[in-house]
Amino acid sequence: MSKKIQIGTDIVCISRFAKSLTTGNFIQKIYHVKEIEYCEQKALKARIASYAARFAAKEAFAKALGTGLYVQGIVPSHIWVENEESGRPILYFSDSLTKVLNDKGFFSVDVSLSHHEEYAVATVILYSL
């Protein structure tokens, strides 16, 4: 049996996204506490770009899975990015979302984030056994 790979990519316009960050409780609804801690320690411009890249990762994940957000228990705050000491991003999931992944046959994931000036982009790759 061959490995199954699914890929999702998303791009966010940082200047447009910045407005979302000031709307109601958007940050608390969308981001995991570890992402908030990470982003809030940055200077304003880098903070907004980091939030945007993490939002793109959540969208890219939903695209790779083929569900979209808020479908089949895919809640944005149940998907989060942490960085290794080297800076490499790692995608983490709540237990319930890990079960959804495993039920669909996916047991490994990679994520790549990037941002520059006006745009943030993320790519997520899901791997089966």
pTM: 0.93
Which tens digits make up the pLDDT trace of 80-96?
999 999 999 999 999 99
Structural domain spans, the chain: 5-128
> Please, how many CA atoms are within 13 Å of residue 104, restricted to the half-sphere of its CB?
20
Which class in CATH covers the domain with range 5-128?
alpha beta
Going from the C-alpha of 102 to that of each of 4, 93, 105, 126, 128, the distances in angstroms are 13, 11, 5, 11, 9
Give yes or no for a contact between 69 and 24, defined as CB atoms under 8 angstroms apart: no
Residue 1 has pLDDT above 60, yes or no: no
Percent of the chain with pLDDT over 70: 98
